[in-house]
Chain A
Amino acid sequence: MPLINLPAFAADLLADFERLGTLRVDTPVIQPAEPFLDMAGEDLRRRIFMTESETGKSLCLRPEFTIPVCLRHIETATGTPQRYSYLGEIFRQRREGANEFYQAGIEDLGETDVAGADARAISDAITILAARLPGRHLKVTLGDQSVFEAVVAACGLPAGWQKRLIHAFGNSAQIDALLTRISSPQPVAGLSPQIEALLASGDDATLIAHLDETMEATGYSTNASRSPKEIAARLKEKRALEKTALDGRTLGLLREFLSLSIPLAEAPAALFAFAAKSGLALDGALSRFDARVAALGNAGVDPGLLTYRAAFGRPLDYYTGLVFEIVIDGSSAVLAGGGRFDRLMTLLGARERIPAVGFALWLDRIEQALAPRDREAAR
């Protein structure tokens, strides 16, 4: 479908994608809404355009490409590794700006050389942007959730806290609120004397049986939602933690880690120094981090462009490691964003785990970033 509102540089982008050895795919504009809401959460609902089929199925206008490309990969049972590229319109409800705009990008599925694939995604994004915006100083910010996961694990925090912290990673307000909350004890109140006695007895089986009976008696199914066992386990965990508070030293370490923002080239040494000073065993995560930095060097990426920000992440549960964003120095408009989403393929129904990394380019913002004379020349 030839579209006359395509950015003038679209043909160059497609040539780049082909030169990079990717397979160009297209996906229908009208998509089932379920997978998007399921992956990104209900909040997405007010930001996408939804409609219903005649039979009542929820449909939406494609709000992004990653999920459709991954679903297509699963449906067509294509082997891996496979690198896909796409270029097309996406649709989102925005208070300001257009509701339909072009996005292009690459999804790299099934490459087991994680460091190499991460570096290639960043390098490809930089190469493509640099070709469109010659002479502009690009700035790349990187984050890595797996390093944060390693830090909270090495701090020896209770499993429940680790989960909460990892879940909030990438949302600084939420992390702050959470750190404040767990810094003081959280008493478990409002339990009946009977439950208190059962908890105190340590007799799990009787506690679970009691919950089971109560549910039966009050007309609640014991397997449709949370089970008696699950409720009892979490109640016990809360009770065990109620007198525990995050100690000042650990809080200090977490805050110190999250405030790290340094040139990527210096990040491995800084992280090793942080681990050594704090006595945290981060070896696995740090060597993977180091391998990525080395792979970026091998890919010929200018280290001067790269900054590591320890608190940078995306609060979506399928992002697992690297995230990155590219802007023009001094501007806040994100021209490219990407990351590793090793959990997405299985969540979408793939039978085996397929590692995945990719990025998307915001073509409208790239067009706006072109100097007026470049835009003239391109016409």
Chain B
Amino acid sequence: MTITIALPSKGRMKDDASAIFEKAGMKIVAVGNERSYRGRVEGLDDVEIAFLSASEISREIGNGSIDFGVTGEDLIREGLAEADARVEFCARLGFGHADVVVAVPEIWLDVDTMADLGDVAADFRARHGRRLAIATKYWRLTQQFFSAKHGIQLYRIVESLGATEGAPASGSADIIVDITSTGSTLKANHLKILSDGIILKSEACLVRARKAEHEGDALVARIIEAVNGALA
């Protein structure tokens, strides 16, 4: 059986992932030229490397067309319903740190917790004739966090594909759910993270599609062990 591992195709994520694989004794070499989207592992003929974008990796791992992938936990949990049933998080790789957070305008001095936000949301329609609007590209994570975890139902999601943190100031939404690593972009846009508003502490992970044929497969076990060994 050939095992396919998908790695980020560019940027720091690509370099960091390659470094960990090399440290794990699985040096990755590109097939063809430097910019090829395919690769192989030195000394492991049964492993293929596919270089994909991080969000593609989440999708491909969900439909099982690849065996392993390196991508952010946020993309997996946002992209897949019942993520834990479909993929196994084999290792947390220690790079690509980013938190998915609920942030509100700093000037909302009375709003510090999700409970405060729940109050504001409950009243919003009566005061403003519309529901509280949340700009985000994280539909699933937002719904799970607001509805299932905090019992807040009365809000509307405004899809945002870029510059989400600018939405409250521009008036296209009231608050945001977005990813942040240092918080500096939030600060620059006069937004603050709620004290209990961290939805997910994400980082790059080695994930495996849960496939029956992986059961008892020596190569699958070896890859997981080697990557974890490189992190120790």
Interfacial residues, chain A to chain B (CB-CB below 8 A): 37-38, 40-43, 45-46, 160, 163-164, 167-168, 171, 173-174, 178, 181, 188-191, 195, 211, 214-215, 218-221, 224-226, 228, 230-231, 234-235, 237-238, 315-317, 347
Cross-interface CB contact of B190 among A167, A220, A315, cutoff 8 Å: A220
Interchain nearest-CB distance for A235 vs B (Å): 4
In the complex, chain B residues 128-147 whose Cβ is within 8 Å of any chain A Cβ: 128, 131, 139-140, 142-143, 146-147
Q: Which residue of B lies closest to A160 (CB)?
A: B119
Cross-interface CB contact of A163 among B109, B123, B139, B146, cutoff 8 Å: B123
**Any chain A CB within 8 A of the CB of B181?**
no
Q: Which residue of B lies closest to A43 (CB)?
A: B147
> Is A41 in contact with B106, judged by CB distance below 8 angstroms?
no
> Is A220 in contact with B147, judged by CB distance below 8 angstroms?
no
Interchain nearest-CB distance for B160 vs A (Å): 14
> Is B127 in contact with A230, judged by CB distance below 8 angstroms?
yes
Q: Which 8 A-B pairs have the closest CB atoms?
A: A41-B153, A224-B171, A43-B147, A235-B110, A234-B110, A174-B151, A218-B190, A167-B122
Cross-interface CB contact of A42 among B120, B156, B171, B174, cutoff 8 Å: B156
Cross-interface CB contact of A221 among B115, B146, B171, B190, cutoff 8 Å: B171
Complex Cα–Cα for A238 and B112 (A): 11
Interchain nearest-CB distance for B196 vs A (Å): 12
> Is B109 in contact with A171, judged by CB distance below 8 angstroms?
no
**Any chain A CB within 8 A of the CB of B118?**
yes
Complex Cα–Cα for A316 and B147 (A): 12
Complex Cα–Cα for A230 and B112 (A): 15
14 A–B contacts, CB within 8 A, in A order: A42-B142, A42-B146, A42-B157, A45-B139, A178-B115, A195-B109, A215-B107, A219-B169, A220-B168, A221-B171, A225-B174, A226-B120, A230-B127, A317-B154
In the complex, chain B residues 101-124 whose Cβ is within 8 Å of any chain A Cβ: 105-110, 112, 115-116, 118-120, 122-123
Number of residues of chain B lying within 8 A (CB) of chain A: 36
Q: Which residues of B contact A38 (CB under 8 A)?
A: 131, 156
Q: Which residues of B contact A188 (CB under 8 A)?
A: 110, 112
Complex Cα–Cα for A315 and B120 (A): 16
**Any chain A CB within 8 A of the CB of B155?**
yes
Q: Which residue of B lies closest to A228 (CB)?
A: B107
Interchain nearest-CB distance for B34 vs A (Å): 41
Interfacial residues, chain B to chain A (CB-CB below 8 A): 105-110, 112, 115-116, 118-120, 122-123, 125, 127-128, 131, 139-140, 142-143, 146-148, 151, 153-157, 168-169, 171, 174, 190
Complex Cα–Cα for A215 and B108 (A): 10
Interchain nearest-CB distance for A317 vs B (Å): 7
Of listed A160, A218, A226, residue having the most chain B CB within 10 A: A226
Contacts A231-B109, A317-B154 given; indicate if A42 touches B147 (C-beta within 8 A): yes
Given A41-B147, A220-B190, A235-B110, 9 more A-B residue pairs with CB atoms under 8 Å apart are: A38-B156, A42-B143, A46-B143, A173-B151, A174-B151, A220-B107, A220-B168, A226-B120, A317-B125
> Is B107 in contact with A218, judged by CB distance below 8 angstroms?
yes
Cross-interface CB contact of A189 among B106, B112, B139, B171, cutoff 8 Å: B112
> Is B122 in contact with A41, judged by CB distance below 8 angstroms?
no
Complex Cα–Cα for A233 and B225 (A): 57
Contacts A160-B119, A230-B127 given; indicate if A218 touches B106 (C-beta within 8 A): yes
Q: Which residues of B contact A226 (CB under 8 A)?
A: 105, 108, 120, 174
> Is B171 in contact with A225, judged by CB distance below 8 angstroms?
yes
Q: Which residue of A lies closest to B157 (CB)?
A: A42
Complex Cα–Cα for A347 and B125 (A): 9
Cross-interface CB contact of A220 among B128, B140, B169, cutoff 8 Å: B169
Interchain nearest-CB distance for B123 vs A (Å): 7
Cross-interface CB contact of B107 among A37, A171, A211, A238, cutoff 8 Å: A211
Complex Cα–Cα for A219 and B165 (A): 13
Complex Cα–Cα for A160 and B171 (A): 27
Interchain nearest-CB distance for A344 vs B (Å): 13
Q: Which residues of B contact A211 (CB under 8 A)?
A: 107, 109
